[in-house]
């Protein structure tokens, strides 16, 4: 089969493809798999109970039932939903949004694909534009999103050891230069894979730098405030007309509803919606219809603050405590300070193998994690640190997480340098 450049690029081996293949193996395997590698959120009974109550309401209303199954929605998003969301954010943060500042996509991955290709690639004047990631490591799912190759440029994070067995990444502003061929800056906050939360000062500095270059700052807010609010630091949500804020309903407990949200100035929303019409025709209504009453009442804020955030914060603390109890003193390791999201990021400083090799050994023992190599794309120079970390999803069944940690400890100990 002879494919185009597009075909060859998007069928090649990639980190996100391997992650999704691992997820599929869990669904089809007859053996017990300890799934600590994917991004599935936890099952919160109280949240699921709301969806179970809301679905019959939709089905019982002839007009809503018709809209959810038998009518194309807008490529821009459902107007009632975008109105409810803009009103909510204006009440909560004092922003000046209208529905024209919001677009809905079929998942935030889809939103990133459109946004990255709007701002990166060969421009009309012939110059190739790139997306600059000012803090690396960054999300595995970005790496292969652009249609043209080599459209990402990343800067290594500054590592600060913040306590015994703990560290944190910061943007290294002393070394952060923004080349003239930069089409946009992009960060995730909280950061996937590390659970890092950029400080308000860091975000404001990046916004200012982007403004000076007249390029947007894309903030991937899939885990952040005000929903699902899986963020454990006292920081503030930020939006202005130079920021493109990407959100999601997935970590509310609706990953299958594939509902991404983009908040931006109107001209960016118009461009994104035009591309969305070509790529997806229309947006999926399920997530919008399920959550609209929560947006209108503001209950989504209470749900996120009082239920979702405390649940994940407790899971994070318990998993870190178990790792500290389980890992042998011979392992020279650090855990990134857990500030949000649903992952722990573990840095092994004295392994004789790469974490890619550790991943393969763990896979043979039915433990799935993600090795760090995939999260360090776009670097200009090699960095040993990129082969020394793993991402672990702590949100799954606690017994499975503990068993997985036991096996990780055993395999890592076998690989300690002697």
5-46+303-414 shares its CATH topology with 74-298: no
Nearest alpha-carbon partner for 290 in 21, 52, 74, 71:
52
pLDDT for 27 beyond 60: no
Query: b/e map of 225-260 (b: 16 or more CB within 10 Å)?
Result: bbbbbbbbeebebbbeebbbbbbbbbbbbbbebbbb
Q: How much is the pLDDT for 62?
A: 86
29-66: pLDDT as tens digits: 668 889 998 888 998 998 999 999 998 888 888 888 88
High-pLDDT (> 70) share of the chain, %: 96
Query: 315's torsion region: left (phi>0), alpha (psi -120 to 50) or beta?
Result: alpha
Residue in 12, 41, 112, 18 with CA at minimum distance from that of residue 370: 18
Given 3.40.640.10, 3.40.630.40, 3.40.190.10, 2.40.110.10, which CATH number is that of 74-298? 3.40.640.10
> So what's the pLDDT on residue 29?
63
Per-residue pLDDT tens digits for 59-72: 888 888 888 888 88
Mean pLDDT of 141-154: 93
Would you kindly state where each structural domain of the chain is located, as residue ranges? 5-46+303-414, 74-298
Average pLDDT of every residue of the chain: 93
Which pLDDT value is given to residue 68? 83
Task: Report domain 5-46+303-414's class.
Answer: alpha beta
How far apart (Å, rounded) are the C-alpha atoms in residues 18 and 24?
10
Longest CA span, the chain:
69
How many angstroms separate the Cα of 209 from the Cα of each of 8, 132, 157, 183, 267? 36, 12, 17, 13, 21
Q: How far, in Å, CA of 264 to CA of 119, rounded?
A: 14
Per DSSP (E only), the strands in 243-290 are 243-248, 260-263
Residue pLDDT, tens place only, 223-234: 999 999 999 999
Mean pLDDT over 340-364 rounds to 96
Going by pLDDT thresholds of 50, 70 and 90, the confidence category of residue 17 is low
DSSP 42: P
Residue 131 has phi, psi (to 5 degrees) of: -95, 125
Whether pLDDT at 90 is above 90:
yes
Alpha carbons 271 and 264: distance in angstroms, whole number: 11
**Residue 55 has which token pair?**
């679905």
Q: Are 216 and 265 in contact (CB under 8 A)?
A: no
Is the predicted pLDDT of residue 161 greater than 90, yes or no?
Answer: yes
């Amino acid at each position: 089969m002879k494919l185009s450049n597009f075909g060859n690029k998007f069928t090649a081996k990639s980190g996100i493809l391997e992650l999704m293949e691992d997820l599929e193996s869990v669904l089809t395997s007859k053996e017990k798999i300890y799934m600590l590698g994917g991004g599935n959120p936890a099952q919160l009974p109280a949240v699921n109970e709301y969806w179970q109550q809301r679905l019959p309401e939709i089905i019982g209303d002839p007009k809503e039932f018709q809209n959810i199954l038998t009518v194309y929605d807008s490529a821009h998003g459902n107007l009632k939903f975008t109105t409810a969301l803009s009103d909510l954010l204006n009440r909560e943060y004092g922003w000046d949004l209208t529905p024209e500042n919001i677009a809905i996509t079929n998942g935030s991955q889809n939103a990133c694909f459109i946004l990255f290709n709007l701002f990166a690639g060969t421009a009309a004047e012939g110059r190739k534009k790139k997306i600059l990631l000012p803090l690396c490591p960054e999300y595995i799912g970005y790496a292969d999103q652009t249609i043209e190759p080599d459209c990402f440029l990343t800067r290594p994070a500054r590592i600060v050891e913040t306590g015994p067995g703990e560290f944190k990444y910061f943007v290294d502003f002393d070394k952060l230069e923004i080349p003239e061929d930069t089409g946009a800056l992009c960060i995730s906050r909280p950061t996937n894979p590390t659970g890092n939360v950029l400080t308000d000062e860091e975000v404001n500095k990046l916004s200012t730098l982007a403004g000076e270059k007249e390029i947007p700052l894309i903030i991937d807010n899939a885990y952040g405030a005000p929903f699902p609010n899986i963020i454990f630091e006292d920081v503030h949500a930020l939006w202005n007309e130079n920021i493109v804020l990407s959100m999601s309903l997935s970590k509310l407990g609706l990953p299958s509803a594939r509902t991404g949200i983009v908040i931006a100035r109107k001209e960016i929303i118009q461009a994104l919606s035009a591309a969305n019409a070509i790529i997806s025709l229309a947006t999926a209504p399920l997530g919008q219809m399920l959550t609209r009453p929560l947006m209108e009442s503001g209950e989504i804020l209470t749900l996120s603050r009082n239920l979702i955030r405390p649940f994940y914060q407790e899971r994070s603390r318990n998993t870190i405590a178990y790792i500290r109890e389980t890992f042998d003193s011979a392992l020279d390791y650090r855990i990134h300070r857990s500030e949000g999201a649903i992952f722990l990021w573990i840095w092994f400083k004295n392994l004789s193998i790469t974490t890619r090799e550790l991943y393969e050994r763990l896979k043979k023992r039915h433990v799935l994690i993600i090795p760090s190599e995939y999260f360090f794309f776009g670097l200009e120079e090699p960095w040993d640190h990129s082969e020394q970390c793993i991402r672990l999803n702590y949100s799954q069944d606690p017994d499975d997480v503990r068993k997985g940690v036991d096996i990780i400890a055993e395999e890592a100990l076998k690989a300690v340098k002697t």
